[in-house]
Each structure stands twice: as structure tokens, then as C-alpha cells.
Structure 1
Amino acid sequence: MVALSQSPPSAERLRAVDGFLAEAWVEQVAYDARLRDLGVQVRFDRGVAHLTGEAVDAGQLRLVRELVGRLAGVYGVWGRVGVAGRAPVVVDLGCGGTKQYPGNLGLDIFPAPGVDAVADLSGSLPLADDSVDVLFAVHILEHLIDFLPLVDECHRVLRPGGVLHVMSPWWGHVNAVADPTHVRLLDVQTIKGICLQRPPGSPRWYPLHAGCDGASIFADLTPLAPDADPPSPTHLARFFS
């Protein structure tokens, strides 16, 4: 967890870190036989890894996500990757006029260019069960008094192995309180609570990645089946205190 006194990295430092991460990934690919002939491209932007291209199967995509996420300085692992010839279904929640990747389905409460369907994110999502590969909730949760129903809806619509990408202002940064439409304050420990401190019978999540850059928190979550093993203490120790 980031200390309250820590300032977010400067744009110059973030560019330098992105350069380091790109070099580290090239070396990883060169020395790891599992990544030979990889069809997934990895780009780094302000500490967020962006995965595009195509994986031969779901296992290869999981491997790439895991290995990229282990690199020091990565805050989140986002992506739009096809698997075995099938294009992914990717949805931007509360996208406004800006989508994370062209071709994503955009949902928002207000109609705007780029919004494909108007939907109240505090209610049910107009999406079928197990129909989505990737969901983006970028600067959304802080606008909802109770965001857990939306998180539960994300669990419902994601396919097994799907990923929910969260980005929100960190509570210790001025951005969290400067916008009067923000009604919730979040921390990386909030993500821990979503994954581990829900009542019995609530949808369960496995944290693939979580972090904070001093201004924003990031989390990549995948649904857990009701009978699946919980994340191990060693895995949780990577992200949570």
C-alpha cells in the first residue's frame, strides 16, 4: 500500500519506467521458451501494460498476464487479446466519449459519441451471463455510493477467466476529493475487501494484480467459482497489507 506522503511519479519518470519495462519484457521473451512465437504484443504506458494481438489458447494468455504482472513497476495489465481465433468481447463501463480500445462496447448512463448502449450502472447490466471477456471500470466506482452491486454484475457477465480492470483515484491524492461528483474514496485495501471480506454467498474474486501509483489505484480481478480455492496468503502478500 502506498504511504500517504508518497507523491505520484512524474511524467518523465513514468516514461523512463516504461522504457525499462519494455526492455525487461524483450529479455523475458528472449529467454523464456514458453513465449517463443508469441502473437501477443505488449506495450507499456505510464506503468500500465497493454496486451493486444492473439494468444493460441487461454493458457498462453494467462501466462503472459502473469509474467507481465510480475515486472517491477507495473500497476495494471490491461488488454484486448483474441484467443484461438475468437475476437474478445470487451466492454467499457461509463465510457463517455472515450474507450480504452477502439472496438470496445461502450456503456454509459448518458448518450454520447462512442456510447453503444445507454445503461444505469447502478442497476443491472444489459449483458447476458458469461458473455464478456474483459470489462473496464475506469473512473467509475468512485461515482457510485454503493458500487458492490455493479461489481456483482461484472462477476455475472464475465466468462470464466475473464477480467475486470479497475482504475480509480487513490483516497490520499487531491484528485479523489477535487471532483464533487466523487462520492466514494478507494484504496488498494478496498480491493482486498472486495475479494476477501464479502458475506458468504457473495460473488468471489481472485486478484490478478493490484497497485497504486500515488494518484490512482489499479486492480485486475477475475471471477472465482463458488467451489474454487481462495487465493493463497503468498499471492495476497504481493498486493495487500
Structure 2
Amino acid sequence: MVALAQHPPSADRLRAIDEFLDGAWADLARHDERLRGLAVEVRFDGGVAHLTGEVAEPGQLRLARDVVGRLAGVFGVWSRVRVGGRDPVVVDLGCGRTKQYPGNLGLDIFPAPGVDAVADLSRSLPLADDSVDVVFAVHILEHLIDFLPLVDEIHRVLRPGGVLHVMSPWWRHVNAVADPTHVRLLDVQTVKGICGQRPPGTPRWYPLHVGCDGASIFADLTPLADGDPEPTPAHLARFFD
């Protein structure tokens, strides 16, 4: 079980963590034969691993994500990687003027530079089924009284093997309550509820990585299809009580 910090790391400590992670990843890339030849670049920023580059097939990206996510000090694993010569379709929900990566498709309720489509995130997303590879929901869920319909919509639009990246204020940090537009408080255990047993027919999720830095929670989730096995207790114990 991952211990949660009571206070977020200082800027100096985060820089030191990133420096450690840079070295740890470089060492893994040199010595893990499975990683040799993978044209995946990994950059660490505040304990979040950013993956870019290109791989031949989805299993290679999943491998890189899994290995990076096992490093101590990684809070989330975000990616924009080409697979099989195809650029990923990446959607930024509630992006405003800032996208996580240039070239992402930005959706927001208000028009602004960088917003490619105006959409009310409390309603259906203007995206086709199985049409998206990555969805970023960064500082979004805490603004919705009921965010499960949006999570279900993201499940609908993600392709098999796609990933939802969540970042939200941790309920015990002042940032969670300092913004009066925040209407929900979230914890790592909230993600456990999203991935847990829900009514039959409800979209199901597999947690790839879940973390907390003392200020924010991070979750990388991939959709489960009908018939896919549930995550094992051993896997869930990595992240949840």
C-alpha cells in the first residue's frame, strides 16, 4: 500500500525526485532487455512521467508505462506516443487556454484560444464511440456534482487500451476547498470506487496507476470490455486500502 504524504513535497524535493527518477529510468532502459530499442522518451516533472515517442505495437507502450509506473516516487504516467505509425488521438477536457500537449483536441464549455470544440462536460461528449486514445481530465472532476456520467462517457469514446488521465486536488489539501467552484472532494479511495463493483452494465475500469503527492491525486485508468477479468487483489493493493 502506498503511504500518503501529509504535505506536498517542496519544489526542491520534487526536483530531487525528478533527478532520481531520470537516473532510475536510464538505468532500467540500459539493463532491461525488453526496453531496448523502444523509441520512447521519458521526462519527469513533479513526479509525473511524461512519455513521448513511437512504438510498433500497443503492447510495447503498455510495457513502458508499467515499468515506469513501478518506480518509487512516480505519481502518474502521462503519454502521447505514436503506435504503429499513427499519431494518437488525445483529448483535453476543460482545457481552457492550456493543453497538456500541443496538438491535443481541446474541449471546454467556454470558447477560448486552444479550445477546438465547445462542449458541456456534464452532458454527452461530441465524440464517436472508440475514437480516442488518451483523455486528460486535469482539474475537472472536482467541478462536477456528479462526475460519473462524464467518466462513463470517457469510457465510451476511448478505444480498447486507451487511457484516462485524472488529476484532482486531494481532499486534505487546502487547494481542494480554496476554490469555491469545487463541488466534490476526491481521494485515492474515490478512484477505488470508480474501479470497484458497480451495477451490471456500468462501464468498468482497470487502474494502471494511482498516486497522491499530498496536494493532488493522480489516476491512469483503462477501460475494461465485457468479459475482461477484474483486477486482482494484489494489483489493487498497490494503490488502495
TM-score by length of 2: 0.98
Cα distance, 1:193 vs structure 2 = 0.1
Moved over 3 A (4+): none
Aligned to 1:147: 147
Q: Which residue in 2 is equivalent to 1:22?
A: 22
Specify the alignment match of 1:86 in structure 2: 86
Please list the CA deviations of residues 78-132 of structure 1 after superposition, one character each: whole Å capped at 9, or x if unmatched.
0100001000000000000000000000000000000000000000000000000
> Which residue number in structure 1 is paired with residue 57 of structure 2?
57
Work out the number of aligned pairs and report it.
240
Q: Percent identity?
A: 79
Q: CA deviation at 1:197?
A: 3.6
Stretches of structure 2 lacking an aligned partner (at least 5 in a row): none
Pairing 1:198–2:198 present: yes
Deviation at 1:226, TM superposition (A): 1.6
CA contact (8 A) 1:2 1:213 kept: no
Residue in structure 2 matched with residue 108 of structure 1 by the alignment: 108
* 2:160 alignment partner in structure 1: 160
- State whether residues 143 and 183 of structure 1, in contact with CA within 8 Å, keep that contact through their aligned partners in structure 2: yes
Distance 1:17 1:56 in 2: 30
Return the offset for 1:200. Answer: 2.0
Query: Secondary structure at 2:59's aligned position in 1?
Result: helix
Per-residue Cα deviation, 1:160-206 (whole angstroms, up to 9, x for no partner): 00000000000000000000000000000000000004222210000
Q: TM-score, normalised by structure 1?
A: 0.98
Instruction: Please state whether the residue corresponding to 1:234 is helix, strand or coil.
Output: helix
The residue type equivalent to 1:163 in the other structure is V
Query: What secondary structure sits across from 2:206 in the alignment?
Result: strand
SS in 2 for 1:208: strand
Structure 1 position 2, deviation (Å): 5.1
Query: In structure 2, what residue type is equivalent to 1:59?
Result: G
In 1: Cα distance, 2:169 partner to 2:3 partner: 13
